[in-house]
Structure 1
Amino acid sequence: MPVNLDKPLNWKADIAQSVDMYNDWFMKFAPKAFRETRIETTKTVEATLHATENMTNIKPVILRKHPEVLSTLRMSTCPPIAVDRLIGLSGVSPSLVKTMELTRKLPPRMSAAAMDADLEKIGTIVEKLADPDIFVWLGREAPATETEIHRAATIVADRLCGAVANPIIRNAQEKRQLAAIKAWLEAKQYRQVPVGTRFDAMPAGTFSFRMNVPVKLEGGVQTINIPVDAVIKPLGSDPQELPIFIEAKSAGDFTNTNKRRKEEAVKMAQLRSNYGGQVRFNLFLCGYFDSGYLGYEAAEGIDWVWEHRIDDLAEFGI
């Protein structure tokens, strides 16, 4: 039985309440989440400064030993350099830069000579563009003081966190949403299953978070894992009955939700093509989800529960 997808007359009021709830959370907790991430990032930047002798020794041997420092080095220049801009400026292998950025490692198949030549070029670009207003000791005889190093690390960390501010906030919000679901379920006497439990082996009255559900892609040759935020096996359900899949979604603006609205439809289609039409896939929403987004999901047969009305979960039979 539908919970919210068939009640468009309620959508406008729910959207307003959801936006208010998200904004209230953001004002209270987002700055704390950002600051905590910035503190940890500052420690990473300080380690980078130590490894590069405070930006005075960015040589191939250093980058070979510490490939993870590249993103910090990019944010240490004036102006900060994007990945593609660094590739263009230095003329180095795109695969080298992108591997260092994404995996924090060096590409295993690149020859030592070619790698050293490219790392030398990267170091030259970074040293030439290093921001003198941040690294005030560059060009002077006196070494950097601890205060100057910490101040510089904080500034670079702020740049790094600013570049990924949305994921930081989104991750913090997702943790909070899952904590809300967990508290609600445990109040109903549900228990969390151990990590590694298969979704189709969950006993009644259990739940799990961030569970991988295997599906075969079209053609049946390749199998992939679909991550699902919350998987719940209702109390009293039959052993052969599939659990309920719930995706926790939050958004701080209306634009991005409409760009991403097809993601849930694709995920549900993959689950149903593998496990049949009895698959129950729903959303747990908080934030900026407008009528366009809700209408699209409703047309795809996807229902939802608003976080400000979390007790609606019971209407899914949970």
Structure 2
Amino acid sequence: MINADKPYRWSDDVQASVRLYNEWFLDAAPKAYRDTRQATVDEVKQAFLWTADLTAITPEILAAHPKALATLRMSTAPPIARDRLVGLSYGSKSLLDAMEKDGKLPPRMKENVLYSHLSKMCAVLTDLLDLDLFPWYQTGEQVDPRQRELASTVVADRLCGAIADPIVRNAQEQRQLALIEGWLLSRGYSKKAHPASLPLNTMQPGTFSFRQNVVVGEEVRVNIPVDAVIQPHNPRNHGLPILVEAKSAGDFTNTNKRRKEEATKIHQLKAKYGSEVSLLLFLCGYFNAGYLGYSAAEGLDWVWEHRIDDLEAAGV
């Protein structure tokens, strides 16, 4: 074990990890948020253009520009979540997810069914439109550019507010993976994806990949995503690579809520590959003794970002 069997070090490591996360947050999180906010403002303005400043919310517009739906949801009073829009319109969650996440329409949905769902969505969005934000909708007057600018900024802020945590979490995850990549490259590893069709224990020595799908399950084949898969220069006898999950957290509450995720993943992996498979957590941020104790009891070990060289102790 690297850290899981050394509880006497946990307190100092937690404090060091919290300091590291806070320093990163103060330095980088505002820029990540600003960059996303600017891109979001541009998307909102484009949606305003497509819908003639929200005066033409029609099925045809949504069909032509599916991603505009997110802007329209944040243009209502109150702004409505995806599931709420599905409920209010008696609609299809798969349709809404395809539109917002993929920017596409479901290819197999019949046209009459599609336009029925889109019409109901448009009716809900129009009924709930924030008239204080878009006063021209009722008056029919020409839109003042300053009003449009204000409205687009407010809607963009609503969109960013709804995804503020994922923005920060994604930026931190990218930084963590970049740190692991730099550490591995400096030790002679090469980045090379392992084909999912080949057994995991045939991964080429001295290679690594990110966001790799790993097969679990016997009767039913299931793929689970793993942040980093590393095959040491000198593979272990069983040939299985080292699996790593990059984890960061900005408060202690969320880590305790999410701690079962990794436990479920290691149980699935062991059921498929046996007890020799290893899943390391790469931690930065607010992971307290409660989280660490639970993880250790579930057979998980971890490497702290502030002591990344501990990866060597894992055999990397």
Q: TM-score w.r.t. structure 2 length? A: 0.89
Kept after mapping to 2: 8 A contact 1:258/1:293:
yes
Q: Where does residue 191 of structure 2 map in the other structure?
A: 192
Q: Where does residue 59 of structure 1 map in the other structure?
A: 58
CA distance in 1, matches of 2:193, 2:91: 46
Q: TM-score w.r.t. structure 1 length? A: 0.89
SS in 1 for 2:215: strand
Kept after mapping to 1: 8 A contact 2:66/2:99:
yes
| 1:44-98 superposed Cα distances (whole Å, 9 cap, x missing partner) | 2222112111101112222232233222111011221223433454455666555
User: Which one of 301, 305, 308 corresponds to residue 306 of structure 2?
Assistant: 308
Q: Where does residue 225 of structure 1 map in the other structure?
A: 223
Q: Where does residue 169 of structure 1 map in the other structure?
A: 168
Kept after mapping to 1: 8 A contact 2:190/2:206:
yes
Q: Where does residue 250 of structure 2 map in the other structure?
A: 252
2:208 paired with 1:207:
yes
Judged with a 3 Å threshold, the aligned counterparts in structure 2 of structure 1 residues 202 and 106 are, in CA distance, closer, same or farther, namely: closer
Kept after mapping to 1: 8 A contact 2:244/2:280:
yes
Kept after mapping to 2: 8 A contact 1:204/1:239:
no
In structure 1, list runs of 5 or more residues that go unmatched: none
Kept after mapping to 1: 8 A contact 2:14/2:287:
yes
CA distance in 1, matches of 2:235, 2:108: 52
Kept after mapping to 2: 8 A contact 1:193/1:202:
no
Farther-moved stretch of structure 1 (307-316 vs 108-117) = 108-117
Q: Residue type matched to 1:270 in 2?
A: Q
CA distance in 2, matches of 1:54, 1:303: 53
CA distance in 1, matches of 2:276, 2:94: 44
Aligned residues between the structures: 314
Q: Residue type matched to 1:225 in 2?
A: N
Kept after mapping to 1: 8 A contact 2:202/2:239:
no
Q: Where does residue 285 of structure 2 map in the other structure?
A: 287
Judged with a 3 Å threshold, the aligned counterparts in structure 2 of structure 1 residues 76 and 232 are, in CA distance, closer, same or farther, namely: same
Kept after mapping to 2: 8 A contact 1:45/1:157:
yes
Kept after mapping to 2: 8 A contact 1:75/1:81:
yes
Q: Residue type matched to 1:177 in 2?
A: Q
Farther-moved stretch of structure 1 (136-145 vs 246-255) = 136-145
SS in 2 for 1:221: coil
CA-CA distance at 1:290 after TM superposition: 0.8
Q: Residue type matched to 2:299 in 1?
A: G
Judged with a 3 Å threshold, the aligned counterparts in structure 2 of structure 1 residues 148 and 92 are, in CA distance, closer, same or farther, namely: same
SS in 2 for 1:212: strand
CA-CA distance at 1:150 after TM superposition: 4.0
CA-CA distance at 1:5 after TM superposition: 0.6
CA distance in 1, matches of 2:182, 2:290: 31
SS in 2 for 1:261: helix
